[in-house]
């Protein structure tokens, strides 16, 4: 599954901010850490402020901080602010009505359902608590 | 080694020292919960608890599960007890070489009473059964649950479980 750029920026920001909820970070600080466009990130952060997941404080020592509930907010909640992954593709072709087309649609639906269930089962807290398990399984690089 | 009643007294002593805040209530519940092997007398409360969570009363299933796993030889049937009542249960066994899968622990039932949700009872049950699996030399624990079962899915994720290399498939064989 390929998430769009805004969704990925939002996930990086939320997870970074939620890892230390008392801390304020500027868009530039987040952008520098993840090597992403700060211009694009500011727009994403505004969406997160509107969604009341992130608070912003202006001035020196200000910035953004996570204000949501880490136990309740899931990865799916964040993804769905930026894209509708539950909806089937808008373009509908005549071939979709054929026997093969319908069977293919069912298989795609099966994959989508697994994706949605997975994203919906991982809260921010669970992600932050368990992300080291994924780190442990990365292939070791030799220096 | 402490007996069950000694464990309970020890836990109650620790519990009484905690202040009465929301956080400490969770700690108290965690501290005063005893995880032990299920006994025949627990079945009434287990059946009630399961029916409360699933809406179906399955007396025969639970009796058969106890007959098979209650002795600790074929699997593990553990309960969480608080204030002399069963507030949770977990059931699992070791399965081996199903389509090439080396021996692994399987958890196939877990239930926690509504009143003690988010108080660490499920984690304590899961940790306990994992310990039992580990003692038998098992390195992996697996489970299978409905995609729509958000509660249990979130719980197992929070325990560090993730998608494994096996996938569940099914086919309708009814006419």
**What residues does each domain of chain B span?**
1-32, 36-158
Q: Across all residues in chain A, what is the average pLDDT?
A: 90
Confidence of residue B28 (pLDDT cuts 50, 70, 90): low
Q: Which residues contact A65 (CB under 8 A, 6 or more apart)?
A: A17, A21, A22, A23, A24, A25, A54, A55, A57
Confidence of residue B30 (pLDDT cuts 50, 70, 90): low
What average pLDDT does this structure show over A30-38? 95
Indicate whether B26 pLDDT > 80: no
The nearest alpha carbon in chain B to A123 belongs to B154
Which pLDDT score, from 0 to 100, does residue A55 have? 96
Taking the C-alpha atoms of residue A91 and residue B17, their distance in angstroms, rounded to an integer, is 64
- Count Cβ–Cβ pairs < 8 Å, chain A vs chain B: 34
Confidence of residue A2 (pLDDT cuts 50, 70, 90): confident
Which pLDDT score, from 0 to 100, does residue A135 have? 74
Domain B36-158: what homologous superfamily?
Gcn5-related N-acetyltransferase (GNAT) (3.40.630.30)
Between β-strands B104-112 and B85-95, what pairing exists: parallel, antiparallel or unpaired?
A: antiparallel
Which pLDDT score, from 0 to 100, does residue B11 have? 40
Burial class (CB in 10 A: 0-12, 13-18, 19+), A65: middle
Measure in Å the smallest separation between the Cα of A121 and chain B Cα atoms.
4
Q: Which tens digits make up the pLDDT trace of B32-83?
A: 899 999 999 999 999 999 999 889 999 999 999 999 998 878 899 999 999 8
Indicate whether B18 pLDDT > 80: no
Which residues in chain A have their CB less than 8 angstroms from residue B157's CB? 121-123, 126, 130
Taking the C-alpha atoms of residue A126 and residue A143, their distance in angstroms, rounded to an integer, is 32
Which pLDDT score, from 0 to 100, does residue B74 have? 85
Helix axis angle, A75-82 to A5-19, nearest 10°: 140
Interface contact B140, partner A, CB < 8 A: no
Taking the C-alpha atoms of residue B167 and residue B164, their distance in angstroms, rounded to an integer, is 8
Confidence of residue B12 (pLDDT cuts 50, 70, 90): very low
Q: Does the distance separating the beta carbons of B162 and A117 come in below 8 Å?
A: no
Q: Does the distance separating the beta carbons of A133 and B153 come in below 8 Å?
A: no
Indicate whether A138 pLDDT > 80: no
Helix axis angle, A27-34 to A5-19, nearest 10°: 110
Interface contact A120, partner B, CB < 8 A: yes
The nearest alpha carbon in chain B to A119 belongs to B154
Domains of chain A, first to last = 5-136 (1.10.10.10)
Interface contact A19, partner B, CB < 8 A: no
Residue A34: CB atoms within 10 Å = 12
Taking the C-alpha atoms of residue B34 and residue B121, their distance in angstroms, rounded to an integer, is 9
Which pLDDT score, from 0 to 100, does residue A1 have? 74
What average pLDDT does this structure show over A111-124? 94
Q: Choosing among A73, A77, A114, A121, which should be mutated to test the B contact, i.e. which has the most B CBs within 10 A?
A: A121
Measure in Å the smallest separation between the Cα of B154 and chain A Cα atoms.
4
Q: Does the distance separating the beta carbons of A130 and B150 come in below 8 Å?
A: no
Which pLDDT score, from 0 to 100, does residue B96 have? 94
**C-alpha B95, offset from chain centre:** 17
Interface contact A28, partner B, CB < 8 A: no
Taking the C-alpha atoms of residue B121 and residue B109, their distance in angstroms, rounded to an integer, is 14
The nearest alpha carbon in chain B to A116 belongs to B147
> What ipTM was assigned to the predicted interfaces of this complex?
0.79
Which residues in chain A have their CB less than 8 angstroms from residue B158's CB? 123, 125-126, 129-130
Measure in Å the smallest separation between the Cα of A42 and chain B Cα atoms.
31
Measure in Å the smallest separation between the Cα of A114 and chain B Cα atoms.
7
DSSP string, chain B: ---HHHHHHHHHHHHHTS-SSHHHHHHHHHHH-EEEE--GGGHHHHHHHHHHHHS---HHHHHHHHHHHTTSSS-EEEEEEETTEEEEEEEEEEE--BTTBPSEEEEEEEEE-GGGTTTTHHHHHHHHHHHHHHHTT---EEE---TT-HHHHHHHHHTT----S----------
Angle at B167 between CA A104 and CA A123, to 5 degrees: 95
Q: Which tens digits make up the pLDDT trace of B103-161?
A: 999 999 999 999 998 899 999 999 999 999 999 999 999 999 999 999 999 999 999 99
The full length of chain B comes to 175
Which residues in chain B have their CB less than 8 angstroms from residue A118's CB? 163
Q: Which tens digits make up the pLDDT trace of A47-78?
A: 999 999 999 988 877 899 999 999 999 999 99
Q: Which tens digits make up the pLDDT trace of A121-136?
A: 999 999 999 988 877 7
Interface contact B145, partner A, CB < 8 A: no
Indicate whether B16 pLDDT > 60: no
Interface contact A113, partner B, CB < 8 A: yes
Interface contact A7, partner B, CB < 8 A: no
Q: Which tens digits make up the pLDDT trace of A7-29?
A: 999 999 999 999 999 999 999 99
Which pLDDT score, from 0 to 100, does residue A59 have? 81
Taking the C-alpha atoms of residue B127 and residue B105, their distance in angstroms, rounded to an integer, is 12
Indicate whether B14 pLDDT > 60: no
């Amino acid at each position: 599954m390929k998430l769009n750029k805004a969704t990925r920026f939002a996930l990086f920001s939320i997870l970074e901010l939620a890892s230390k909820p008392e801390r304020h970070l500027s868009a530039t600080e987040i952008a520098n850490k993840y090597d992403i466009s700060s211009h694009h990130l500011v727009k994403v952060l505004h969406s997160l402020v509107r969604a009341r997941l992130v608070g912003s404080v202006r001035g020196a020592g200000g910035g953004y901080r996570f204000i949501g509930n880490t136990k309740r907010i899931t990865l799916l909640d964040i993804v769905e602010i930026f894209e509708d992954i539950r909806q089937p593709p808008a373009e509908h072709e005549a071939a979709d009505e054929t026997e093969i087309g319908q069977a293919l649609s069912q298989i795609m639906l099966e994959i989508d359902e697994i994706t949605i269930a997975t994203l919906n089962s991982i809260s921010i807290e669970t992600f932050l608590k368990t992300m080291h398990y994924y780190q442990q399984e990365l292939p070791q690089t030799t220096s | 080694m402490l007996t069950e009643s000694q464990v309970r007294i020890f836990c109650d002593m620790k519990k009484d020292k905690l202040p009465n805040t929301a956080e400490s209530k969770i700690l108290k519940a965690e501290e005063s919960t005893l995880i032990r092997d299920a006994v025949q007398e627990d079945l009434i409360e287990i059946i009630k608890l399961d029916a409360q969570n699933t809406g179906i009363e399955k007396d025969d299933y639970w009796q058969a599960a106890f007959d098979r796993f209650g002795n600790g030889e074929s699997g593990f049937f553990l309960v969480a007890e608080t204030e002399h009542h069963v507030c949770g249960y977990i059931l699992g066994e070791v399965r081996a070489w199903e389509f090439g899968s080396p021996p692994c622990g399987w958890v196939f039932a877990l239930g926690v009473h509504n009143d003690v949700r988010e108080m660490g009872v499920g984690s304590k049950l899961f940790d306990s059964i994992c310990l039992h699996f580990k003692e038998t030399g098992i390195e992996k624990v697996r489970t299978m649950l409905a995609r729509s079962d958000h509660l249990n899915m979130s719980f197992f994720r929070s325990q560090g479980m993730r998608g494994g290399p096996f996938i569940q498939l099914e086919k309708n064989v009814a006419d």
